[in-house]
Amino acid sequence: MIIFFRFTKFLLTFFLMTSFSMLSLFSNIGLEGGVAVAQEEEEKKYKNVETRKRESVGKTCGSALDKVRGEKGPIFLAQAAEEAAQQPAKIQLEAPAVEKFETVYYELDREFLANVSDSRKVMQIKLAIMTHYDEQVIANIEKHVFAVRSEVLDIMRQVTENDLVSPDFRTNLAENIRIAMNATLEEAEDFGGIEKVYFVEFIVQ
């Protein structure tokens, strides 16, 4: 009887331990399965988010491309290119031809020497002229050189010491000589042509 009781106690203990092990095993399997399912759901959710992002980017790029192409797509671009080709070409304007005149210089051979008015000073100058006309002006000067020299000397004799200290003295003297020389040539040849007078030498002492 005692042996039967011990055997029965052993079976109960073995049954309880086996049941507890089986429950622990099933609990672990269920927990691992739940974690796996949760991870799988999370991956699906992540994939869905990435898919939506890609779709959103694709739609945005597609919209931008549609704006570039226009509502009518490549056909519209081809028509626009054809219309641009049919427009009249731009014409480049040519620069107008500027008529330039040859500048001629001529230096008179001899110096001009004259006394300053009401003074013991002497003024000595050497002249050159400029013209845009032909060699006829120079030929007329050489032809009437004595009359020209006389007019220049008369202008020089009218200069005073007060004139010498004027800032515009040389400019005014050159203009007065030009006018006098042209007047002499116009009187003799009906044409002057002297446009400017230069001082090659200018001495007052």
Structure tokens given for 76: 């519209």
What are the sequence ranges of the domains in the chain? 2-86, 104-204
The third-level CATH classification (topology) of the domain covering 104-204 is Tetrahydropterin Synthase; Chain A (3.30.479)
Neighbours of 184 (CB within 10 A): 23
The model's pLDDT over 39-69, given as tens digits with 9 standing for 90+, comes to 555 555 544 545 554 555 455 555 554 554 5
Residues of the chain with pLDDT under 50: 26, 29, 31, 33-35, 37, 46-47, 49, 53, 57, 65, 68, 72
Please give the torsion angle defined by the CA atoms of residues 29, 32, 38 and 41, in that order, rounded to the nearest 10 degrees. -80
pLDDT for position 92: 73
pLDDT for position 13: 64
β-strand 112-115 against 196-204: which pairing, if any?
unpaired
204, 180 Cβ separation under 8 angstroms: no
